Structure 1
Amino acid sequence: MSLAPRAVLVHRRTEYEELLARHGTHGQAAFVLAGRGRSVEEVAERHRRAVRALADVAAAVPLRWRRSRVERADLDRFLFGPQDVVIVVGQDGLVANVAKYLSGQPVVGIDADPGRNPGVLVRHRPRDTGALCDAAVSPGTGVDALTMTEAVADDTQRLLALNEIYLGSPGHQTARYRITRNGARAAGEVQASSGVLVGTGTGSTGWLRSLWLERGSRMTLPAPTDPRLVWFVREAWPSPATGTSSVAGELAAGDWLGLTVESDRMVVFGDGMESDALELTWGQSVRIGVSDTALRLVT
């Protein structure tokens, strides 16, 4: 007998739970917020909606399936299996948070609070969960293969991201590095900047888009399923020793952008999760390009 699929419900602590963790009780949280002209009830109501959505999703998972649950803060310690169906209950950003830990498992995005989320990645409602679970394990199911980006360091450290990868100083100060593309014979360009951002089509509605707009770039941003990346150098500084001639570009499948560290320390992190970053020291190098792994989002 084949092993039944496992539904892994991914969620995050609500604002209300974070308030209780900080202030201890509902009453104390209410007192603190009242002093700021805010009511705890609006936060508590969103918490109740999130808890209700999570319960409805759990109840709709097929009875024969195995099931597990993981909170966002524990994702880096959770072991996903090849037969898992990952059900993200929350915001669009939570799908990006979990994407880097997957290797092709189907993902179902459930919007826990319709009207507050754009719903780009969490496209469905709790009532759809049962049908989506069946679809996720059925051949020929509609799945969007969302392009991901990957960074690989010379010491084999590897990082995946759905939206974007940032490379720069851990304190977001000036980083020094040498930038090259596709192993060009030229030595590349030494730069001093506040970091480099490499993003996908999924990330082109966020941080990447803000840089694109700021530059007035004529590049066409990719769609989420396009096997293409766009990259920008942030605030490159011209000096006798550093240049600004290579500050933006595109990467097709098979292309890569290379950085060699010339600072004491640089970090590489994806999708805003700086707590789970690669750390590189002087002389180390890293390559960033289109990943062979895509996020399989059930439509």
Structure 2
Amino acid sequence: MHRRTELTELLARHGTRGQVEFFLKSRNRTLDEVVDRDQQARQALGEVSAAIPLDWRRGVVEREDLSRFLFAPEDVVVIVGQDGLVANVAKYLNGQPVIGINPDRGVLARHAPADAAQLLHNTSDTEDRTMVEATTDDGQTLHALNEIYVGHPTHQTSRYRIGPERQASSGILIGTGTGSTGWCSSAHRERKSAIQLPTPTEPRLVWFVREAWPSPTTSIDHTEGEITRAPLDIDVETDGLVAFGDGIESDALRLGWGQRLRVGLATRRLRLVR
């Protein structure tokens, strides 16, 4: 699993290397730096491919094709790229071991390409990371590794009910321990919340309402909390809301007035090979 390099995307947009170089110069950048990163990515993919035993079934998937690719239960998933790519893949998996490869070493993609051969034959030692799940009352389901956002796709006013309280806000974030270093961390710091953020493997979620405001019909008493056993129920009172995970807005649940969204701990977890 990998994503297209910056050079590949620039060539698709501009056609030739000459045009790419001209475009980069207009942005005070050079073609050499882009080519260097492209070569590093291709070298990493080559090393990982060479490490896979010849008698193993294999498939190569780009990020754009994830939603159309069917992962088998017995697959070992090797992700070559940055940490965000691991989060993008996690929502499509259900227990398959994941090996994160990144020449620059990340938090999720923590292994060097040279480690691939050893890791492919030792996938039992995993760090099982908590995921979050959103389910609508008509059976739609969404999973995420970092967080799920519920609100208007343009982040304008969203109207909904949490328990007995009607709210108007810029949306709700429900995050895991893995996501607690990102979007949820920003909300946590901004409001100086007393809630302790979870660790990546802890079976606990946190949620924050973004920019809630009071009015004659809306309140701001329930704007943050934790989820351990009972999920968070959100009753939609605005047409056109969405729920999407890990920043992938193109793969979202569409929510209409009167629908109920239930967000809680997912039964599946990301099995990240140590």
Q: Do these two structures clear the TM 0.5 threshold for a shared fold by scoring above it?
A: yes
1:128 aligns with 2:115: yes
Contact kept in structure 2, 1:54 and 1:89, CA below 8 Å: yes
The residue aligned with 1:275 is 250
1:291 aligns with 2:266: yes
Specify which structure has the higher proportion of strand: 1
The residue aligned with 1:221 is 197
For residues 86 and 143 of structure 1, the distance between their equivalents in structure 2, rounded to whole angstroms, comes to 13
Output the TM-score relative to the length of structure 2: 0.98
The residue aligned with 1:148 is 131
Contact kept in structure 2, 1:30 and 1:40, CA below 8 Å: yes
Q: Give the one of 16, 19, 32 matched to 1:25.
A: 16
Q: Give the one of 65, 71, 81 matched to 1:90.
A: 81
Contact kept in structure 2, 1:267 and 1:278, CA below 8 Å: yes
Unaligned 5+ segments in structure 1 are 1-9, 181-187
Which amino acid in 1 is paired with 2:259? Q
| TM-superposition CA deviations, 1:224-253 (whole Å, max 9, x none) | 00000010000001100011000001111x
- What is the aligned length? 274
The residue aligned with 1:232 is 208
Counting aligned pairs with the same residue, the percent is: 59
| TM-superposition CA deviations, 1:167-195 (whole Å, max 9, x none) | 00021111000112xxxxxxx21100000
Unaligned 5+ segments in structure 2 are none
Which amino acid in 2 is paired with 1:78? F
Which amino acid in 2 is paired with 1:264? D
1:54 aligns with 2:45: yes
The residue aligned with 2:96 is 105
Aligned Cα root-mean-square deviation (Å):
0.9
Stretches of 4+ moved more than 6 A in 1? none
Alignment of 1:126-275 (within 5 A): 126-136=113-123, 141-180=124-163, 188-252=164-228, 254-275=229-250
Output the TM-score relative to the length of structure 1: 0.90
For residues 27 and 206 of structure 2, the distance between their equivalents in structure 1, rounded to whole angstroms, comes to 42
